Amino acid sequence: MAQNTTPQSQTQMTIDKSTVERIRLIRRINNTRVDVNHELNLILIGKNDLSMIEAKLGINKDSWSSAKSCPKCDNGVLWLKQSRKNKSFFGCTNFPKCRHSESK
């Protein structure tokens, strides 16, 4: 006798485009102190939110409005940073492996 197997139901979420873009960029950050994938999974089960991950990574929430993909290493993200001399510039999240930067 064959068993009738039905696929397990999956929950679908609707997420606005800006949040999706923030998550996409966070996933590309190489950070040894924070397990980004684990933290993002905690969001899906409701035990974390995006701002908590951004705080752990030291990301100012306003940085996302100007963030873009790094043209040099193709897997980093350029976002607004401050130099030691307090000047603003766009730097790659893969620093020091990728030293690409752009002036503001």
pLDDT at site 88: 85
pLDDT score of 92 more than 70: yes
- Asked whether 77 and 67 are in contact (CB, 8 A), the reply is yes
Instruction: State residue 11's pLDDT score.
Output: 66
Say which residue, 79 or 102, is predicted with more confidence.
102
Q: How many domains does the chain have?
A: 1
Asked if residue 66 lies in contact with residue 89, where contact means CB atoms within 8 angstroms, the answer is no
Cβ atoms of 83 and 64 closer than 8 Å = no
pLDDT in tens, 6-44: 555 566 767 777 777 777 777 777 666 778 888 888 877
The model's pTM: 0.50
In a domain, 39, yes or no: yes
Looking at the domain assignment, is residue 75 inside a domain?
yes
Domain of 57?
A: 17-103
For residue 1, being part of any structural domain is answered with no
Report yes or no on 50 lying in a domain.
yes
Q: How far apart are CA 42 and CA 37, in angstroms?
A: 9
